[in-house]
Protein backbone atom coordinates (compact mmCIF):
# COMPACT_ATOMS: atom_id res chain seq x y z
CA UNK A 1 0.00 0.00 0.00
CA UNK A 2 2.58 2.59 -0.99
CA UNK A 3 -0.04 5.29 -1.63
CA UNK A 4 -1.40 4.98 1.92
CA UNK A 5 2.14 4.97 3.33
CA UNK A 6 2.93 8.15 1.37
CA UNK A 7 -0.27 9.76 2.66
CA UNK A 8 0.54 8.68 6.22
CA UNK A 9 4.00 10.21 5.87
CA UNK A 10 2.40 13.50 4.84
CA UNK A 11 0.07 13.32 7.83
CA UNK A 12 3.11 12.60 10.03
CA UNK A 13 4.92 15.65 8.64
CA UNK A 14 1.87 17.88 9.13
CA UNK A 15 1.30 16.52 12.63
CA UNK A 16 4.91 17.18 13.66
CA UNK A 17 4.57 20.74 12.37
CA UNK A 18 1.26 21.28 14.15
CA UNK A 19 2.73 19.86 17.37
CA UNK A 20 5.55 22.43 17.34
CA UNK A 21 3.08 25.22 16.61
CA UNK A 22 1.02 24.30 19.67
CA UNK A 23 4.21 24.29 21.75
CA UNK A 24 5.22 27.73 20.45
CA UNK A 25 1.78 29.05 21.38
CA UNK A 26 2.01 27.36 24.80
CA UNK A 27 5.36 28.99 25.52
CA UNK A 28 4.48 32.47 24.28
CA UNK A 29 0.86 33.04 25.30
CA UNK A 30 -0.05 36.21 27.22
CA UNK A 31 -3.39 37.77 28.11
CA UNK A 32 -6.47 37.35 30.28
CA UNK A 33 -7.13 33.77 29.06
CA UNK A 34 -3.60 32.61 29.89
CA UNK A 35 -4.65 30.44 32.83
CA UNK A 36 -7.07 28.39 30.72
CA UNK A 37 -5.22 28.31 27.41
CA UNK A 38 -1.61 27.75 28.53
CA UNK A 39 -2.28 24.22 29.86
CA UNK A 40 -4.81 23.50 27.09
CA UNK A 41 -2.26 24.15 24.35
CA UNK A 42 0.18 21.82 26.09
CA UNK A 43 -2.48 19.13 26.57
CA UNK A 44 -3.40 19.25 22.88
CA UNK A 45 0.28 19.10 21.91
CA UNK A 46 0.77 16.01 24.07
CA UNK A 47 -2.34 14.36 22.62
CA UNK A 48 -1.05 15.10 19.13
CA UNK A 49 2.35 13.68 20.08
CA UNK A 50 0.68 10.35 20.84
CA UNK A 51 -1.07 10.44 17.47
CA UNK A 52 2.26 11.15 15.76
CA UNK A 53 3.60 7.86 17.07
CA UNK A 54 0.48 5.99 15.97
CA UNK A 55 0.67 7.45 12.45
CA UNK A 56 4.33 6.47 12.12
CA UNK A 57 3.76 2.98 13.47
CA UNK A 58 0.83 2.42 11.10
CA UNK A 59 3.02 3.34 8.12
CA UNK A 60 5.63 0.82 9.34
CA UNK A 61 2.99 -1.91 9.82
CA UNK A 62 1.95 -1.34 6.20
CA UNK A 63 5.53 -2.05 5.13
CA UNK A 64 6.60 1.53 4.67
CA UNK A 65 9.41 3.71 5.88
CA UNK A 66 8.66 6.89 7.83
CA UNK A 67 10.18 10.29 7.33
CA UNK A 68 9.92 13.27 9.60
CA UNK A 69 13.15 15.03 10.45
CA UNK A 70 12.89 18.72 11.24
CA UNK A 71 14.33 19.57 7.82
CA UNK A 72 11.81 17.36 6.04
CA UNK A 73 8.96 18.84 8.04
CA UNK A 74 10.10 22.37 7.21
CA UNK A 75 10.23 21.57 3.50
CA UNK A 76 7.09 19.45 3.11
CA UNK A 77 4.47 20.48 5.66
CA UNK A 78 1.16 21.63 4.21
CA UNK A 79 0.36 23.51 7.44
CA UNK A 80 0.77 27.26 7.21
CA UNK A 81 3.79 28.74 9.02
CA UNK A 82 3.14 30.03 12.53
CA UNK A 83 3.97 33.67 13.26
CA UNK A 84 6.33 33.16 16.18
CA UNK A 85 5.95 36.75 17.39
CA UNK A 86 2.30 36.15 18.37
CA UNK A 87 1.65 36.51 22.10
CA UNK A 88 -2.02 37.46 22.58
CA UNK A 89 -4.20 34.65 23.86
CA UNK A 90 -7.15 34.90 21.46
CA UNK A 91 -4.82 35.54 18.54
CA UNK A 92 -3.22 32.15 19.28
CA UNK A 93 -6.68 30.58 19.41
CA UNK A 94 -7.53 31.96 15.96
CA UNK A 95 -4.19 30.94 14.43
CA UNK A 96 -4.24 27.45 15.91
CA UNK A 97 -7.88 26.99 14.93
CA UNK A 98 -6.98 27.80 11.34
CA UNK A 99 -4.14 25.29 11.43
CA UNK A 100 -6.38 22.66 12.98
CA UNK A 101 -8.72 23.15 10.03
CA UNK A 102 -5.82 22.57 7.63
CA UNK A 103 -4.69 19.48 9.54
CA UNK A 104 -8.22 18.05 9.65
CA UNK A 105 -8.65 18.46 5.88
CA UNK A 106 -5.50 16.39 5.33
CA UNK A 107 -6.51 13.77 7.86
CA UNK A 108 -9.96 13.38 6.32
CA UNK A 109 -8.47 13.10 2.84
CA UNK A 110 -6.10 10.35 3.98
CA UNK A 111 -8.97 8.56 5.74
CA UNK A 112 -10.91 8.64 2.48
CA UNK A 113 -7.88 7.23 0.65
CA UNK A 114 -7.67 4.41 3.18
CA UNK A 115 -11.38 3.66 2.73
CA UNK A 116 -11.01 3.59 -1.04
CA UNK A 117 -7.96 1.31 -0.76
CA UNK A 118 -9.87 -1.15 1.42
CA UNK A 119 -7.80 -0.42 4.53
CA UNK A 120 -10.38 -0.15 7.33
CA UNK A 121 -7.76 -0.30 10.09
CA UNK A 122 -6.02 2.85 8.87
CA UNK A 123 -9.38 4.53 8.27
CA UNK A 124 -10.49 3.68 11.83
CA UNK A 125 -7.22 4.96 13.29
CA UNK A 126 -7.60 8.27 11.47
CA UNK A 127 -11.29 8.55 12.36
CA UNK A 128 -10.41 8.42 16.07
CA UNK A 129 -7.85 11.19 15.62
CA UNK A 130 -10.26 13.30 13.58
CA UNK A 131 -12.99 12.94 16.21
CA UNK A 132 -10.70 14.05 19.01
CA UNK A 133 -9.46 17.08 17.11
CA UNK A 134 -12.88 18.05 15.77
CA UNK A 135 -13.77 18.58 19.41
CA UNK A 136 -10.70 20.77 19.96
CA UNK A 137 -11.54 22.78 16.86
CA UNK A 138 -15.08 23.30 18.16
CA UNK A 139 -13.65 24.59 21.47
CA UNK A 140 -11.50 27.11 19.61
CA UNK A 141 -14.47 28.34 17.57
CA UNK A 142 -16.59 28.66 20.71
CA UNK A 143 -13.81 30.61 22.45
CA UNK A 144 -13.71 33.11 19.60
CA UNK A 145 -17.51 33.47 19.62
For 63-104, the pLDDT digits (tens) are: 999 999 999 999 999 999 999 899 999 999 999 999 999 999
Is residue 60 over pLDDT 70?
A: yes
Is residue 1 over pLDDT 80?
A: no
Q: Architecture of 2-144 per CATH?
A: Up-down Bundle (1.20)
Domain ranges (residues) in the chain: 2-144
Q: How many residues appear in the chain?
A: 145
User: pLDDT category, 128, cuts 50, 70, 90?
Assistant: very high
pLDDT in tens, 8-40: 999 999 999 999 999 999 999 999 999 999 999
**pLDDT of amino acid 2:** 59
What residues contact residue 119 under an 8 Å CB cut-off, 6+ apart? 1, 4, 62
Q: What is the phi/psi pair of residue 137, to 5°?
A: -65, -40
**pLDDT of amino acid 84:** 86
Q: With pLDDT > 70 as the criterion, what percentage of the chain qualifies?
A: 99
pTM score of the predicted model = 0.96
Q: What is the mean pLDDT of residues 112-120?
A: 97
What residues contact residue 56 under an 8 Å CB cut-off, 6+ apart? 8, 12, 66, 68
Amino acid sequence: MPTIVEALNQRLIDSLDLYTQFKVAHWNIRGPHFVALHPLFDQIAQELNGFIDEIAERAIVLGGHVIGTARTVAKQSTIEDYPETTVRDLEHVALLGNRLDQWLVGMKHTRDQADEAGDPDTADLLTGMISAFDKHRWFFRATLG
